[in-house]
Structure 1
Amino acid sequence: MKSNNPSGLSRRTLAKAGIFGAAAAPLLAACGDDSNEGDGDLDFWWWGSEPRHEYTQQIIDAFLAKNEGITIKPSPADFSGYWDALNVSVSGNNTPDVMQQDEKYLRDYADKNALLPLEELDIDLSEVEESIIQSGQLDGKTYGIATGVNAIALLVNPALVEAAGLTIPDDTTWTWADFVRFTSDLSSGGDAIGNSGVSFNNESLFNVFARQKGESLYTPEGGLGFSEATMTEWWQMVIELRDAGATPAASKVVEGYAAGQDQAPLATGTGVTEFYWTNQIGAIQSVLDSELLLLRVPGESEAAQPGMFLKSAMFWSVARTTSDKEAAGKFVDFLLNSDESLDLTLGDKGLPSNLAQRERILPNLPADQQIGADFIAAITPGLSEPPPVPPVGAGAVGDIMLGLYESLLFDQTTPEETAALFIEQVSAEIG
């Protein structure tokens, strides 16, 4: 992968280079460039792992080979460092021309007038479903185009299920009560914990639970869309799982969460089940060196409405201040629609939003990504519309939920108190 050469960068790009180090970030605010002169010089920011950085550079090279006169300055980062740097860069009016965006922050940056409505660019969306386009829209304007879609699922280690003397449940009919019994039986019948408990602080998983009751984490207007009773029931189930031995003691749950995906119980073979996104199965299987199964989230068959949904894995967005709209549009179109881009990306950013490309690459997907693709194909006919774009302030919700989850596990708060505190603290963040 190529690295940035500071001596060869433009003033705009140098100002943005703080993505590589927090120490440089405060300097960004000193510079700004609101020009739109069409110079073909694009700064491109994304987050991800080293393999993503490597293939993204190959995509850049393929694009440049077809588009003489355009230059692209790559700025890869890890997830947390990316948002710290982007926040500072936007504050200094130095937004990167083309960037990855996440649903939690899309409204925030659109409201800051940092993002360009993509209707102003020549990007072919003819092969993208309307519901997927709408997932990046606010007030009728498109501020992000989904790279692809994924879904939350229960990953299960079938070898450990067999070792516990159990069988895989029918995920088309099982309930949350069935899930509690299954994971409790796994813990008592084998040497691994039934469920590591590391994902019950995941607001997307709670959103599935709320949607099953005809509610939602957020409303389209940006408020909270669930009742206190529904969240209390969620936390009560968490305590039931802990007390039944389905999940480990509080300290072990915290350790598992802090260890990260690669060292969490499912990946190390000390846990049998865990909720993850479908595009994460490959990384976990590679660490575990064993095959996993994907099951639907419990409760779908008895739900008031389908809770599961296809989530936009991430988005492509363009800066309002981009120096070259035409070049930025060409690049996003290439990322979204070209054979070269999708042959390299495959399912890493979710199954491609471009339906024709999705169909084309399916035979070429690695075995682990094929599992996710098959799962999405199986569940899609029964899904309802995806949730609305989260409100401004949603980026803080994960930390709020984690802190309250830990307090609950250590019996510092009751389920009722935890639900009330969540509503109070999140309401303060989203206004």
Structure 2
Amino acid sequence: MQSSNPSGVSRRTLAKAGIFGAASAPLLAACGNGDGGGGAEGDGELDFWWWGSDPRHEYTQKIIEAFLAKNDGVTIKPSPNEFDAYWDALNVSVSGNNAPDVLQQDERYLRDYADKNALLALDDIGIDLSNIDEAAIKAGQLNGETYGIATGLNSLCLMVNPVLLEASGVAMPDDKAWTWDDFKQFVIDVTNGGDAIGNSGISFNNESLFNVFARQKGESLYTPEGELGFSEATMNEWWQMVIDLRDAGATPGASQIVEAYAAGQDQAPLATGTGVTEFYWTNQVGAIQKVLGGDLVLLRIPGESAGTQPGMYLKSAMFWSIARSTSDQEAAAKLVDFLLNDDASIDLMLGDRGLPSNTAQRDRVLPMLPPDQALAADFIAALTPDLVEGPPVPPVGAGGVADIMLGLYETLLFDQTSVEETTAGFIEQTNAAIGA
């Protein structure tokens, strides 16, 4: 694929040298594709960005090689990264009008980048969506246009170490019927009956887990209009449960919780065999089992049958998006189509980026899934019939809410703020972050 640049130097090369960027139009202030984005020249050069672990980087490189073997004239510059560094780099890249052509997106940031007009609408640019799960498409839609297509779907769950549970003498709970009060008593009994902590306490600052709790009460973390959608009473109840568990010894002390959170998933109590339960996403089970060296059981979040409605939902593990400024829209669309629909791509990806959003591919690879991914797939299959519609796409500014909630969670754990003060602080700081 040949560039139309008369100098023979591609627009992408000029942009990276800082020549093209100065003359480029600034990002617009609102969603909408206008003229359909860049890429009229079709230079065949794609920057492809994603985050993840080393195994993800390795198989994604193999996917790239398989794509290039079928698409002459296209070149791809891969840029893998870790999650936090990824968003720092993407912010700089987009601010400099040099966004990667094809990129992973997350629900916390999707609206933010779409509202900056940094993302291309994906509805009618040659990507085959005929087999993509309707929920996976809807999850990436804003104002009737699709700015991200889910790589796959996953769900929050409670992971339980069955060996440690048996050692405590406590029976496995009925996760289709248990309440949050049942959960509290369960982890207290597990802690008292064995040598491991009932729950490590490192997930109660997860805004997605709180969202499940709020949804069970007919509320939500955010409204479709981008405002907070829960009552103070609901968040007070959440934080009070945290304090009750800490004071009962069912979770570690404040310092231990903070240290365990900072240590990361691989060094957290569930993975190291010192904790019996923890809330995680289903696609994380394999990595945790590998470190643990044993099997885990996946349970539904407490309270699903006791509230106004089920709170659990299928979350897009991540999205594929295309930059509006891409230098080759056709090639970028072909890459996303390949990532979503091609056998070679799905055979390498399997369930690492969530249970494939392509339902035909999902059915095809189910027998091929390794045991950990099969465990997650079976859990999601059993859960799906009991779910209601998922939450709306988070508002602009939601990317900073995780840090807000973590900071306030720590002040609560150390008794620097009361339950009510923690809730008030969260509401005030989050409203400021999302402009509500």
TM-score normalised over the length of structure 2: 0.92
Is residue 44–residue 74 contact of structure 1 (8 Å, CA) maintained in 2? yes
Q: Unpaired runs of 5+ in structure 1?
A: 1-8, 18-26
**Which of 415, 419, 426 is the equivalent residue of 1:415?**
419
**Which of 382, 388, 391 is the equivalent residue of 1:387?**
391
How far does residue 16 in structure 1 lie from its aligned partner after superposition? 6.0
Distance (whole Å) between structure 2 residues aligned to residue 115 and residue 13 of structure 1: 21
How far does residue 267 in structure 1 lie from its aligned partner after superposition? 0.4
Is residue 32–residue 92 contact of structure 1 (8 Å, CA) maintained in 2? no
Call closer, same or farther: CA 1:29–1:13 in 2, change over 3 Å. Answer: closer
Task: String of CA shifts for 1:22-54, please: whole Å, max 9, x gaps.
Answer: xxxxx8996676752111111111111111111
Q: Does residue 1:397 correspond to 2:427, yes or no?
A: no
Which residue pairs with 1:257 in the alignment? Answer: 261
Q: Unpaired runs of 5+ in structure 2?
A: 1-8, 26-37
Report 1:112-127 matches (<5 A). Answer: 112-127=116-131
Q: Does residue 1:140 correspond to 2:144, yes or no?
A: yes
Distance (whole Å) between structure 2 residues aligned to residue 73 and residue 157 of structure 1: 41
Aligned-residue Cα RMSD (Å) equals 1.6
Q: Which residue identity does 1:343 align to in structure 2?
A: D
Which residue pairs with 2:105 in the alignment? Answer: 101
Which residue pairs with 1:24 in the alignment? Answer: none
Q: Which residue identity does 2:101 align to in structure 1?
A: D
**Which of 89, 100, 106 is the equivalent residue of 1:85?**
89
**Which of 167, 174, 177 is the equivalent residue of 1:163?**
167
Is residue 12–residue 327 contact of structure 2 (8 Å, CA) maintained in 1? no
Call closer, same or farther: CA 1:15–1:269 in 2, change over 3 Å. Answer: farther
Share of identical aligned residues, percent? 73
Q: Which residue identity does 2:175 align to in structure 1?
A: D
Distance (whole Å) between structure 2 residues aligned to residue 302 and residue 98 of structure 1: 43
Report 1:107-256 matches (<5 A). Answer: 107-256=111-260
Task: String of CA shifts for 1:180-207, please: whole Å, max 9, x gaps.
Answer: 0010011111110000000000000000
Q: Does residue 1:424 correspond to 2:425, yes or no?
A: no
**DSSP-derived class of the 1:416 partner:** helix
How far does residue 132 in structure 1 lie from its aligned partner after superposition? 1.8
**DSSP-derived class of the 1:118 partner:** coil
Which residue pairs with 2:296 in the alignment? Answer: 292
**Which of 356, 366, 369 is the equivalent residue of 2:373?**
369
Number of aligned pairs?
A: 414
Distance (whole Å) between structure 2 residues aligned to residue 76 and residue 128 of structure 1: 25
Task: String of CA shifts for 1:77-136, please: whole Å, max 9, x gaps.
Answer: 111111001001100110111000000000000011100011241011111122221100
Is residue 175–residue 299 contact of structure 2 (8 Å, CA) maintained in 1? yes
Distance (whole Å) between structure 2 residues aligned to residue 393 and residue 28 of structure 1: 31
Is residue 11–residue 20 contact of structure 2 (8 Å, CA) maintained in 1? no
Is residue 206–residue 405 contact of structure 2 (8 Å, CA) maintained in 1? yes
Call closer, same or farther: CA 1:374–1:80 in 2, change over 3 Å. Answer: same
Is residue 29–residue 89 contact of structure 1 (8 Å, CA) maintained in 2? no
TM-score normalised over the length of structure 1: 0.94
Which residue pairs with 1:319 in the alignment? Answer: 323
Q: Which residue identity does 1:365 align to in structure 2?
A: L
Task: String of CA shifts for 1:54-84, please: whole Å, max 9, x gaps.
Answer: 1001000001101111111111111111100
Relative to structure 2, which stretch is displaced further, 120-129 or 234-243? 120-129
Distance (whole Å) between structure 1 residues aligned to residue 229 and residue 319 of structure 2: 24
Which residue pairs with 1:66 in the alignment? Answer: 70
Task: String of CA shifts for 1:296-352, please: whole Å, max 9, x gaps.
Answer: 000001110110000000000001011111111111000000000000000000000
